[in-house]
Amino acid sequence: METRRVVLRFPKHLLDKPITSQLVRQFDLDFNILRADITQESEGLLIMGLTGKKADLEKGLRWAREQGVEIQPLSKDVVRNEKACTHCGACINVCPTDALTIDLETREVVFNANRCIACELCVPACPFRAMEVAF
Amino acid sequence: MKEAFTVPKTYAEINERIRKGQAVVVTAEEMIDLVEEEGVKKAAEKVDVVTTGTFGPMCSSGAVLNTGHTTPRMKIAKAWLNDVPAYCGLAAVDLYVGVTEPQQDDPLNANHPGQFRYGGGHVIEDLIARKDVRLVAEAYGTDCYPRKQLDTWINVKTLNQAYLLNPRNSYQNYNVAVNLSTQRDIYTYMGVVKKDLGSASFCSAGQLSPLLNDPYYRTIGIGTRIFLAGAQGYVYWEGTQHSPSDARGENGVPKGGSGTLAVVGNLKDMDTEFFRGASMLGYGCTAAVGIGIPIPILDEEMARYTAVKDADIVAPVIDYSHNYGHNEGKPLGHVSYAALKSGSININGRDIPTTPLSSYRKAQQIAGILKEWITRGEFFIQEPVQLLPTPDTGQKFRPLKERPVSGGVA
């Protein structure tokens, strides 16, 4: 099993087609939607993590491309500089996907990279510049 | 065999027990459980010292540096440390660098919200890290100080003196910042606060915070030895804006800001784990300072004070979109640190997610380190040489009453 985080762009004419649902059902994939939007150009934008067998993932993504969906891997990553982080929590309210949360037991700020959509809002919001963009 | 415990205890008795390695030291978190299990009286008999801790942005902080004299000598009139202006209105080669001073060419808020990537706090962090810092200086030249230009690397290791001299740290309690504007997120010294009551920022270690464990300043005063950014430092005065006569709850704990401390300590002994330059988006540069204060359990009253817990400490919720900036309005209410630390508070019937600015994790570490130092006999408690102004002085933090100058600018 493996997980890939991908950015899917749906042209306007595909917006009313159940492509995502077919993709996960036909190719036996699990999905975790990180972000869904309609852009200013009226195309659909979907950022999600897809989990499945490697072969199924590849077949599924190829099929979706054939339907006209534009697919890119989520290429940017936000990473945390562990030495710089003071575990204050100033970042948690700007994170739209709850990738940054406070563990109520340890009082540490937990960064769950799997939930991160690389929106980068935490980068300037961190007083200690502990959140960095890696390409 | 341990000596029989008696209360009240004196500073000298406690220090003697520290010297012998017999002192019983617990953190303010541990004291809560101990008092709950064994009662105030037993806890007072058993415990000698309770350690506290806090780590958060503290803007009124800075460092005094003496660089040593150049050859020929120079009376520095303007100076920059890594391009951050330092104050030079002191003797020839004495400088003061404040943590909120931005770099000379920083665009500030020209493109709001500004990033304020590097400032005085970062200079001090670099000094503590023993990194070289560039000193550029200018002077007008005198008969005794002829030199006019200087451009050199300096390092904390070779400075004559380098010490933190912070006019206001360790606020007893603090506001909770919310944003009533429905239009926009705001960028404050309390971080980004989301519009329409979208988030609530708070900045106190609550039950672990030094002055919340000694609400009437019975043991924390001028001369108190403290943990300051990893070194042993001292309280040298009441902090600026010290306001002991603010409203208090029935337990004596202030319901808002109230007391503050001015602290001093040797930069050369500090650790960047407990001093960090910070950049508050759209606000400016500052630094997060780690402070820990030992509280001697002289009697039952001190045992009771140091057992204070988050549920019994409240903070005022203030609108920072307008009311704070314009000195208007009243708090939207008071909420406990137990609620703030749970991740959500309720204001006007709405659940608002909370955002801490102060690191509770670091506060715990500091209280733990201080406990270790005292237990190992490396740190002794110091009785204040003078107490801080107490509530019965009636002292309050006053606003500036402006007396406009005719023909003036405002």
Query: Looking at the partner chain, which of A88, A104, A129 has a beta carbon nearest the beta carbon of B279?
Result: A129
Predicted pLDDT at B5: 55
Best probe of the B interface among A83, A87, A88, A111, by most B CBs < 10 A, is A88
pLDDT surpasses 60 at A48: yes
Predicted pLDDT at B63: 98
pLDDT tens-digit profile of B275-318? 999 999 999 999 999 999 999 999 999 999 999 999 999 999 99
Predicted pLDDT at B207: 98
Which are the catalytic amino acids of B?
A: 144
Question: Which helix H or strand E contains A14, and what residues bound it?
Answer: none
Lowest mean pLDDT among A111-115, B98-102, B299-303: A111-115
pLDDT tens-digit profile of B51-67? 999 999 999 999 999 99
Average predicted confidence (pLDDT) for chain B = 97
Mean pLDDT for the stretch of residues B385-400: 96
Nearest chain B CA: its distance from A118 CA (Å): 18
* Interface contact A86-B359, CB threshold 8 A: yes
pLDDT above 90 as % of chain B? 97
pLDDT tens-digit profile of B315-364? 999 999 999 999 999 999 999 999 999 999 999 899 999 999 999 999 99
Pairs from B28-32 (Cβ < 8 Å, separation ≥ 24): B28/B52, B28/B53, B28/B207, B28/B208, B28/B213, B28/B295, B28/B306, B28/B308, B28/B367, B29/B207, B29/B208, B29/B364, B29/B367, B31/B303, B31/B306, B31/B307, B32/B207, B32/B307, B32/B308, B32/B309
B76 touches chain A (CB under 8 A): no
Predicted pLDDT at A56: 95
pLDDT surpasses 80 at B37: yes
At A1, is the pLDDT very low, low, confident or very high (cuts 50, 70, 90)?
confident
pLDDT surpasses 80 at B118: yes
pLDDT tens-digit profile of B65-81? 999 999 999 999 999 99
Nearest chain A CA: its distance from B354 CA (Å): 8
Closest CA to A125 of A92, A79, A81, A77: A92
Nearest chain B CA: its distance from A132 CA (Å): 13
Predicted pLDDT at A115: 84
List all residues of chain A from 44 to 103 with a beta carbon under 8 Å from chain B: 86-90, 92-94, 102
Nearest chain A CA: its distance from B131 CA (Å): 16
Lowest mean pLDDT among A51-60, B4-13, B120-129, B378-387: B4-13
Mean pLDDT for the stretch of residues A45-50: 89
Which of A23-37, A75-89, B232-246 is modeled with the greatest confidence?
Answer: B232-246
Predicted pLDDT at B2: 47
Lowest mean pLDDT among A73-87, B169-183, B238-252, B371-385: A73-87
Q: Please give the model's pTM, rounded to 2 decimal places.
A: 0.90
Cα of first residue to Cα of last residue in chain A, in angstroms, is 24
- Confirm if B361 and A105 have CB atoms less than 8 A apart: no
Query: Looking at the partner chain, which of A88, A93, A127 has a beta carbon nearest the beta carbon of B353?
Result: A93
pLDDT tens-digit profile of B119-165? 999 999 999 999 999 999 999 999 999 999 999 999 999 999 999 99
Best probe of the A interface among B112, B195, B361, B364, by most A CBs < 10 A, is B361
* Interface contact A127-B286, CB threshold 8 A: yes
pLDDT above 70 as % of chain A? 99
Alpha-carbon span B296 to B140, nearest angstrom: 52
What does the block give as tokens for A17? 């087609």
Predicted pLDDT at A34: 82
- Confirm if B291 and B263 have CB atoms less than 8 A apart: yes
Predicted pLDDT at B1: 43
Mean pLDDT for the stretch of residues B208-216: 98
Mean pLDDT for the stretch of residues A109-129: 92
Task: Output the CA–CA distances (angstroms, integers) from residue B202 to B123, B336, B347, in the order listed.
Answer: 26, 11, 14
Predicted pLDDT at B116: 98
Lowest mean pLDDT among A76-85, B34-43, B384-393: A76-85
pLDDT surpasses 70 at B3: no
Task: Write out chain A residues lying below 8 Å of B281, CB-based.
Answer: 124-125
* Interface contact A102-B117, CB threshold 8 A: no
* Interface contact A88-B357, CB threshold 8 A: yes
* Interface contact A88-B115, CB threshold 8 A: no
B331 touches chain A (CB under 8 A): no
A118 versus B393: the higher-pLDDT residue is: B393
pLDDT surpasses 80 at B188: yes
Pairing mode, strands B350-356 and B200-202: parallel
